[in-house]
Amino acid sequence: MFNSTIVSKFNSIPTPFYYYDMDVLKQTLNLLKKESDKYGFIVHYATKANANNKILDIIRSYGLGADCVSGNEIKKAIECKFNPNHIVFAGVGKSDVEINIALDHSIFCFNCESLQEMEVINELAKAKGTTASIALRINPNVNANTHKYITTGLEENKFGINLWELDNVIAALKDLKNLKLIGLHFHIGSQITDINSFKTLCMRVNEIQSWFVSHKITIENINVGGGWGVDYHEPDKNRYLDFAAYFKLYNDFLELRPGQKVHFELGRAVVAQCGTLISRVLYIKKGVNTNFAILDAGMTELMRPALYQAYHKIENLSKYQVASIKSQDSAVSELPTTDSLLIKYDVVGPICESSDCFGKAVNLPETFRGDIIALRTAGAYGEVMSSAYNLRDRVKSVYSDEI
């Protein structure tokens, strides 16, 4: 992904910034499209993972729809020319203003999470003299085996309608004349790397579908959500996910009724590997038992380690650059580094919080003030979750095709 030419360009750009490799993004989309098209599956990109205009434009150009979780995401998707008929709107707490935005754009579907929300959407649609298409987000009670903050498909989570509520909801729907039930929606969590969790989801969906069939309710669309995880440890070796295996699993295990369409809402799987947070070392400091490498990027730019103890691979690109020039400009990621040359650093940010730490006892070549440090696999839930805490400047983005 990195070579000495790119790293020397980074030297003249103020840090910190997000660097997006557009070739990686496009190749990911090529693979995703090729494999999902085999089965006629429809993929809505989960805008929340990365909502940069340039990234959204490319994703839209590959024919994906948009999965939005706020009125502003809907507006952004429309601004980036996503077809409203390919926009789904999820979220456990949609405000009246946001519902009205979605109604005004006649989006494809509201993924509804409670009866009360359905009543409000019905009311607002009625006031506009329109009908809203809805899917019921059902909590399938499937354990996604992921971090507790990003698991969503268990009854103890706030998301979705529980199975024991279905009778009530269906009975109530009869009186909600401005709603049209067009689908069922599921989403069991995020950063799920055990593909068997999706197989379990398929089995649950099949059971739940039988319930609807036995109640003579036709469902046109099955939306299985997103959640597929990426390899944070080996971003070069596993840069591209096995989209063939992922979509085949759904094709093999979902029992579809005639004419039913399958929808996905992938976010991380699309954008994680194309993004890297680039920062510089401000200071090297000796601690009692460790060395600190203090970066000019912190939890304000990349919050995932502080919030979920998430791992992002940390690389010193300056070291590799010097070495790669010596070794005839070979690609940075191919450079050998032996353990004996490595020193342990706690890699931390500048923010006044002890949780502002990207990694403890990280093995790096000897590192100095001014070195360029890469935090890999940061394209999803990186820039979008950045903040201005400590009144810091908002982080910038740099695209591989613009430098």
Residue type at position 356: D
Q: How far apart are CA 111 and CA 232, in angstroms?
A: 30
Give residue 296's Cα distance to chain centre: 25
Specify the residue, 229 or 365, whose C-beta has the smaller distance to ligand LLP: 229
Among the listed residues 16, 36, 60, 67, the single contact to ligand LLP using CB under 6 A: 67
Q: Does 312 bind ligand LLP (CB under 6 A)?
A: no
Residue whose C-alpha is closest to residue 303's, from 357, 243, 369: 357
Q: Does 227 bind ligand LLP (CB under 6 A)?
A: yes
Quick one: residue 56, left, alpha or beta (phi over 0 = left, psi -120 to 50 = alpha)?
alpha
Phi, psi for residue 342 in degrees, rounded to 5: -95, 145
- Minimum CB–partner distance for residue 45 and ligand LLP (Å): 9
| 180 membership: H or E segment, kind and range | strand 179-185
Candidate segments 54-62, 72-80, 267-275, 386-394, binder of ligand LLP by CB under 6 A: 267-275
Candidate segments 24-32, 102-110, 262-270, 288-296, binder of ligand LLP by CB under 6 A: 262-270
Specify the residue, 247 or 345, whose C-beta has the smaller distance to ligand LLP: 247
Among the listed residues 140, 235, 267, 365, the single contact to ligand LLP using CB under 6 A: 267
Kindly provide the residue ranges of all beta strands, DSSP E only, lying in 233-302, ordered along the sequence: 261-264, 275-286, 291-295
In order of 15, 54, 324, 370, 379, the CA distances from 12 in angstroms are 9, 22, 18, 12, 22
Candidate segments 79-87, 186-194, 336-344, 395-403, binder of ligand LLP by CB under 6 A: 186-194
Among the listed residues 51, 78, 150, 176, the single contact to ligand LLP using CB under 6 A: 150
**Taking the CB of residue 165, how many other CB atoms lie within 10 A of it?**
15
Q: DSSP code of 151? A: B
Among the listed residues 6, 7, 25, 49, the single contact to ligand LLP using CB under 6 A: 49
Among the listed residues 35, 73, 117, 265, the single contact to ligand LLP using CB under 6 A: 265
Q: Does 191 bind ligand LLP (CB under 6 A)?
A: yes
Specify the residue, 22 or 385, whose C-beta has the smaller distance to ligand LLP: 385
Q: How far apart are CA 289 and CA 347, in angstroms?
A: 14
Q: Does 90 bind ligand LLP (CB under 6 A)?
A: yes
Q: How far apart are CA 222 and CA 220, in angstroms?
A: 7
Residue whose C-alpha is closest to residue 198's, from 103, 264, 126: 264
Q: Does 230 bind ligand LLP (CB under 6 A)?
A: no
Q: DSSP code of 127? A: H
Q: Does 144 bind ligand LLP (CB under 6 A)?
A: no
Q: Does 304 bind ligand LLP (CB under 6 A)?
A: yes
Among the listed residues 76, 94, 187, 239, the single contact to ligand LLP using CB under 6 A: 187
Name the residues that contact ligand LLP, by CB under 6 A.
46, 49, 67, 90, 150, 187, 190-191, 225-228, 265-269, 304, 308, 380-381
